[in-house]
Amino acid sequence: MKQQHHLTFFAGIALVALALIIAAGAMPSVAAPASYKSIALQSPPSAMQAALAEADVVVRVRVAQSTSAWTPDHTAIRSTNTLSVRYMLRGTEMADLIVETVGGYLPAEELYMISPDLPTLSGGEEAILFLAKTGDRYAIVGGQDGKYTVRAGQVLYAGGLFEEPIASFYARLQALDPAMQLPADWAEQEAQLAQEPVIDGMDFVYKNIKWPTSEIGYKVNLNSRLIGTQAGSADEFLTAIQNAAETWSMVDGADFTLTYAGPTDSTTVANNFANEIFFVDKGLVDDSDNNLPLA
């Protein structure tokens, strides 16, 4: 049976995930240490193993170029991505390869298309990809679980909610596939690459995407396990989020107002045309190893 994917077009105006916008200001209004560090990380989804089973190639890459165009029937946008290979983890050694992805951006038409369950690539992005050969090109397998963004020595999982050091990520891969080979100098390569400027994926690059109206309602899931501790009560957490939203609404040049629209039980990041905020334990702690919540 042919798999179907939901495609979302954005022409001039569109919806974005509110949680990405106000995360920086969503902590409770209590005194926080000046610095924090990242520790203990989320276990990978079982889908990673399924994606790995589909992959002919596992490769560490830099996206050299990404070009988008309409499909022949003009019903979808696809992108052709030229990748420079940093090093191979599975598969025959190669210098570069071409990967086709669903979605993309047409600047002349100011049109942007994404599929929530399929990954995109952007020029300059660093990533680890699970690929399968399709003709003379490659495709990412496993949906979002076939792409992992690499940034400053960390590997970001789909949605950017979970991350871990690249050494830990590779240990996971080798536990799933003991035959997977890393180059002897991979750590030295990564240390050098970590000094280069960071470029995120398409999901984090501004493409003139806007909300369709100036008044934006958002819902909050107060699911932090720190509620009721010294970090604050449920009311204090909600007030902190509302204060952050109000602050963003008052930013010079902001042509929108963020308005609290009630509770939600959502814990899923998706392009679902809903503005939802919830808490995720990313292993953030202060200098005394006290957990810090993140919305």
The region of weakest confidence among 13-17, 59-63, 142-146, 245-249 is: 13-17
Each domain of the chain, given as residue ranges in start order, spans 15-38+210-286, 47-204
Rank 108-112, 221-225, 270-274 by mean pLDDT and report only the highest: 221-225
Instruction: Tell me: pLDDT of 58 over 90.
Output: yes
Judge whether 84 and 96 are in contact, CB under 8 Å.
yes
How far are the Cα atoms of 101, 225, 238, 249 from residue 58, in angstroms, in the given order?
Answer: 16, 36, 43, 43
Using the CB atoms, write b or e for 155-184: b if 16+ within 10 Å: bbbbbbbbbbebeebbebbeeebeeeeeee
Average pLDDT over residues 169-193: 91
What local confidence, expressed as pLDDT, does residue 36 receive? 27
Average pLDDT over residues 214-226: 88
3-state secondary structure string across the chain: CCCCCCCEEEECECCCCHHHHHHHHCCCCCCCCCCEEECCCCCCCCHHHHHHHHCCEEEEEEEEEEEEEECCCCCCEEEEEEEEEEEEEECCCCCEEEEEEECEEECCCCEEEECCCCCCCCCCCEEEEEEEEECCEEEECCHHHHEEEEECCEEECHHHCCEEEHHHHHHHHHHHCCCCCCCCCHHHHHHHHCCCCCCCCHHHCCCCCCCCCCEEEEEEECCCCCCCECCECHHHHHHHHHHHHHHHHCCCCCCCEEEEEEECCCCCCCCCCCCEEECCCCCEEECCCCECCCC
Instruction: Tell me: pLDDT of 60 over 90.
Output: yes
Q: Percent of the chain, pLDDT > 90?
A: 34
pLDDT, tens only, 194-210: 776 655 555 444 545 56
pLDDT, tens only, 13-47: 233 334 333 333 333 323 322 322 332 333 455 77
Please give the CATH architecture assigned to the domain spanning 47-204: Beta Barrel (2.40)
pLDDT, tens only, 126-145: 999 999 998 889 999 998 88
State pTM to two decimals: 0.61
Average pLDDT over residues 267-289: 71
Query: Which residues is 133 bridged to in the sheet?
Result: 138
Query: Which residues is 132 bridged to in the sheet?
Result: 139
Average pLDDT over residues 51-67: 94
Instruction: Tell me: pLDDT of 169 over 50.
Output: yes
Between residues 110 and 25, the one the model is more confident about: 110
Say which residues have a Cβ less than 8 Å from residue 140's Cβ, sequence separation at least 6. Answer: 99, 101, 118, 119, 129, 130, 131, 146, 147
